[in-house]
Amino acid sequence: MGNSFSTLDYLVFAGYCLLIIFIGLFVSRTKKGEKKTAADYFLASKSLPWWAIGSSLIAANISAEQYIGMSGSSYAIGLAIASYEWIAALGLIVVGVFILPIFLRKGIYTMPQFLEQRFDNRVRVALATFWLLVYVFVNLTSVMWLGALALNTIIGIPVFWGIIGLAAFAALYSIYGGLKAVAWTDVVQVVFLIGGGLLTTYLALTAIGSGDGAIAGFRHLMDQVPEKFHMIIHKGDLMVPDINGTFKDAWTILPGLSVIIGGMWVANIAYWGFNQYIIQRGLAAKSIAEAQYGLVFAGFLKLFIPLIVVIPGIAAFLVAKDPAAYGLADVAPITKSDQAYPWLLHNFVPIGIKGLAFAALVAAIVSSLASMLNSAATIFTMDIYKTYIRKNSTDVNLVKVGRIASFTALIIAVIAAKPLLGSLDQAFQFIQEFTGFITPGVCAIFLFGLFWKRTTSNAALWGVGLSIPVSFALMLFVPSIPFMNRWGVVFLILAAIMITISLLESRTDHPKAVILEKGIFHTTTRFKYWAVLLTGIVAALYILFW
């Protein structure tokens, strides 16, 4: 097998890049004399069908964080890390039934905008500021850093130039075209992402199976490293490197049954229901029904993600122990968990196909970058610029500001990527742990704002304001609590505080309380059928790999 890109690989990859840029610019065009409106740029003219919504959700969600970070965690931990994907499939159903219909009826552009409608300006600006900081300094930086690490491992591009290249690729179509360009290119991106990813897994398993096929390779993998194929981890089962490179019990990362019934749900609901760069696709739907079909479609796509990113990490763990036994001689060792996927792609995917597999990886990275840029621009433009700087802005001006905001966010993230992430072993755990400081607060204020009419504005402000201090306090003074369980504990603490404040401040419903009209949670029979099937498959997977 070749260990470097061939001319054919470069041609395949270049063809992919040109296709995405062409589609992005093509769908972004306007008729002569017309100008993009804010709805065009930020919500794709509210015209997305279910299949575009589902594809774009997965393309936005799956990035280097999964391809590199989750593969790195599966290299260290095993199949259990797939809980982030399979529990998310169920979370999408919950969001589709109980949360997205309310947002669509409100006609909002952003999550902070809903908070102003429900509470007041203070809550809106607090969350808008936080999300901008997280998108720039956590999400964008981590995606670019992990992507550049992959480029470096696979084809030797220096990390700095890898970051520049990925940023420029995403900027070429997303800054000009807005959400419409992002969403419609995502439809193509997800084909590369899933198709190319499955191809890499197939080739790796076939090689492990000594020529007897991928299924034989998978069985061999399970036989050789059975400890890596348990969804539920118990205390003392496995020691793995943490985000600082020191070893710790894997139970502290994925704490047993809590993964299914505990803090994971706080993160899931907050991410899929209240995260701007995810929920924005649902807000751009043609209708509530189309949005719900899109979410359940994304849930089914989620089932395949562990095949693409988790199994390769486990395969890399097995092969790296004795490369010669699998036909690899004189290969570089894996020194960090996050090198697992690029190492596997570099060593097992043959010349001529490597360009396609590499395109899948870059598709995941670039689609996420484009999504985050558009959502950061949407929040800055609609929640800060239009609300506090220039209230009477025209649509043309809002689109211009959105483009400038996207470019500025990208430049800051490029500069910050290496200083923030350069020394970590498992960047996926860094992302989960540190975004988790605010996740319980976000989940609490939205859930109480949506479903408890007594919740006051001050209660919401205290809820979001105390999320980071309470999370830090628990981490410092009760370090034995796994961070996933900490999400649940902090959520309960904040819920108690918000309930207490609301009851002390008012004996009546809040004047801006959400009125849940009769039938708002109605779903079609078709949606119910697919939701039940999806739930059954997830349950079967947990039973099979218990």
Per-residue model confidence as pLDDT tens digits over 424-457:
555 555 666 667 788 999 999 999 999 999 999 9
Please tell me the predicted confidence (pLDDT) of residue 114.
Answer: 94
Q: Is 353 helix (H, G, I), strand (E, B) or coil?
A: coil
pLDDT of 251 strictly over 60: yes
- What is the rounded distance in angstroms from the CA atom of residue 208 to the CA atom of residue 218? 8
The domain limits of the chain are 7-22+50-424
Confidence of residue 36 (pLDDT cuts 50, 70, 90): confident
- What is the rounded distance in angstroms from the CA atom of residue 471 to the CA atom of residue 437? 5
Please tell me the predicted confidence (pLDDT) of residue 450.
Answer: 96
**DSSP H/E element including 247:** strand 247-249
Confidence of residue 536 (pLDDT cuts 50, 70, 90): very high
Confidence of residue 211 (pLDDT cuts 50, 70, 90): confident
93 or 68, higher pLDDT: 93
Residue type, 368: S
- What is the rounded distance in angstroms from the CA atom of residue 304 to the CA atom of residue 62? 11
Please tell me the predicted confidence (pLDDT) of residue 447.
Answer: 96
Sequence-ordered strand ranges (E) for 342-484: none
CB atoms within 10 A of CB 303: 16
Longest alpha-carbon distance in the chain: 74
Half-sphere exposure of 166 (CA within 13 A, CB side): 38
Token pair recorded at residue 180: 């419409």
- What is the arithmetic mean of pLDDT over 157-178? 88
Confidence of residue 32 (pLDDT cuts 50, 70, 90): low
Please tell me the predicted confidence (pLDDT) of residue 300.
Answer: 96
| Contact criterion met (CB below 8 Å) for 228 and 317 | yes
Please tell me the predicted confidence (pLDDT) of residue 2.
Answer: 39
533 or 392, higher pLDDT: 533
Confidence of residue 297 (pLDDT cuts 50, 70, 90): very high
Give the domain 7-22+50-424 fold.
Answer: Sodium/glucose cotransporter (1.20.1730)
- Any residues with CB less than 8 A from the CB of 513 and at least 6 apart, and which? 118, 453, 454, 455
pLDDT of 289 strictly over 60: yes
Angle separating helix axes 159-208 and 214-224, nearest 10 degrees: 100
Confidence of residue 38 (pLDDT cuts 50, 70, 90): confident
Please tell me the predicted confidence (pLDDT) of residue 1.
Answer: 36
Burial of residue 478, with CB atoms counted within 10 A of its CB: 0-12 exposed, 13-18 middle, 19 or more buried: exposed
Lowest pLDDT segment from 397-401, 525-529, 531-535: 397-401
Alpha-carbon distance values, 539 to 208, 271, 303 (Å) = 29, 22, 12
What is the tens place of the pLDDT at every residue in 221-230?
A: 999 989 889 8
What is the tens place of the pLDDT at every residue in 328-352?
A: 777 777 777 777 887 887 777 777 7
Token pair recorded at residue 131: 């999300």
- What is the rounded distance in angstroms from the CA atom of residue 114 to the CA atom of residue 372? 19
CB atoms within 10 A of CB 116: 21
Please tell me the predicted confidence (pLDDT) of residue 426.
Answer: 52
Please tell me the predicted confidence (pLDDT) of residue 290.
Answer: 95
- Torsional sign, CA 468, 474, 476, 480: negative
- What is the rounded distance in angstroms from the CA atom of residue 397 to the CA atom of residue 279? 24
- Any residues with CB less than 8 A from the CB of 464 and at least 6 apart, and which? 123, 126, 127, 130, 438, 441, 442, 444, 445
pLDDT of 242 strictly over 70: no
The single-letter DSSP state of residue 285 is B
CB atoms within 10 A of CB 446: 24
pLDDT of 66 strictly over 50: yes
61 or 293, higher pLDDT: 293
| Contact criterion met (CB below 8 Å) for 184 and 52 | yes
What is the tens place of the pLDDT at every residue in 306-317?
A: 998 899 999 988
pLDDT of 470 strictly over 50: yes
Token pair recorded at residue 473: 């306090």
Task: Name the most confidently modeled range: 27-36, 63-72, 235-244.
Answer: 63-72
Confidence of residue 233 (pLDDT cuts 50, 70, 90): confident
Lowest pLDDT segment from 46-55, 62-71, 238-247, 340-349: 238-247
| Contact criterion met (CB below 8 Å) for 225 and 319 | no
Q: Is 214 helix (H, G, I), strand (E, B) or coil?
A: helix
Nearest to 259 by CA among 426, 440, 487, 484: 484
- What is the arithmetic mean of pLDDT over 300-324? 89
Kindly state the percentage of the chain with pLDDT values over 70: 93
Please tell me the predicted confidence (pLDDT) of residue 412.
Answer: 94
- What is the rounded distance in angstroms from the CA atom of residue 228 to the CA atom of residue 545? 10
Kindly state the percentage of the chain with pLDDT values over 90: 38
Confidence of residue 3 (pLDDT cuts 50, 70, 90): very low
Query: Long-range contacts for 497-502 (Cβ within 8 Å, ≥24 apart)?
Result: 497/459, 497/462, 497/463, 497/466, 498/444, 498/445, 498/448, 498/455, 498/459, 498/460, 498/462, 498/463, 499/448, 499/459, 501/456, 501/458, 501/459, 501/462, 502/448, 502/452, 502/454, 502/455, 502/456, 502/459
| Contact criterion met (CB below 8 Å) for 282 and 53 | yes
pLDDT of 389 strictly over 50: yes
- What is the rounded distance in angstroms from the CA atom of residue 442 to the CA atom of residue 464? 6
Q: Supply the mean pLDDT for the chain.
A: 86
Confidence of residue 153 (pLDDT cuts 50, 70, 90): confident
Q: Is 453 helix (H, G, I), strand (E, B) or coil?
A: coil
Pairing of strands 239-241, 247-249: antiparallel
Sequence-ordered strand ranges (E) for 110-246: 239-241
- Any residues with CB less than 8 A from the CB of 465 and at least 6 apart, and which? 126, 441
